[in-house]
Amino acid sequence: MPSGPVNVAYDFELFEEKKVQTRPVLSVVSNPKYKKRDQMSVVRMISSVLVVVAVICVMLYSRSQLTELTAQISDQKANYQALVSENTRLRAELESKVSLRGVEDRAKELGMAKMQAYQVEYVNMEQSDEITLSGVEQEPSAAEKLELYIRSFLEYIRIR
């Protein structure tokens, strides 16, 4: 280097050989604390995947159960509708068999006829019909006799 004035217009240091700086060699130092953390992150990831898979399996299972129950419900509704229609049919059949016209037709088939007034016979049981209460005999009162007479007369008129 010159001992005189320095010329700033020219920087000769740019043309000098530069010393290559050697980078220090990096070496991996294993620290057990970080190794455990890395292992825990792997365990967390695996457990997260397992949880997601389990949730998906549970959802698929519940969907299949829902589909199966829906099919059973629709089958039971169809069965119910068939039973309701069968009930309606049976009620109509019962009404036709029990109706008065049906009974009259069946009676005619069996050779039966309506009862005529001359076929009615009245039996008076006032004399022979007795009620005994605790050993004491009681004669019907005049009002009871009159009531029996009126009832038998009304019955006689009603049949004719």
| Rounded Cα gap, residues 24 and 108, in angstroms | 127
Instruction: Give the type of residue at 69.
Output: L
pLDDT of residue 48: 95
Both 76 and 122 in one domain: the answer is no
pLDDT of residue 84: 96
Both 62 and 121 in one domain: the answer is no
| Rounded Cα gap, residues 18 and 12, in angstroms | 12
How confident is the prediction along the chain (160 residues), in pLDDT tens digits per residue?
Answer: 455 555 566 777 777 777 777 888 878 777 766 666 777 788 889 999 999 999 999 999 999 999 999 999 999 999 999 999 999 999 998 887 778 887 888 888 999 888 888 877 777 666 655 655 655 566 778 888 898 888 888 887 876 5
Q: Does some domain include residue 1?
A: no
Both 40 and 96 in one domain: the answer is yes
Overall number of domains in the chain: 2
Beta bridge pairs of residue 132: 137
Strand, helix or coil for residue 13: helix
Both 94 and 36 in one domain: the answer is yes
Both 78 and 120 in one domain: the answer is no
Both 96 and 119 in one domain: the answer is no
Q: Does some domain include residue 87?
A: yes
Both 121 and 83 in one domain: the answer is no
Q: Does some domain include residue 75?
A: yes
Q: Does some domain include residue 77?
A: yes
Q: Does some domain include residue 149?
A: yes
pLDDT of residue 46: 93
Q: Does some domain include residue 39?
A: yes
| Rounded Cα gap, residues 99 and 107, in angstroms | 12
Both 80 and 51 in one domain: the answer is yes
Domain of residue 41: give its range: 32-100
Q: Does some domain include residue 20?
A: no
Q: Does some domain include residue 17?
A: no
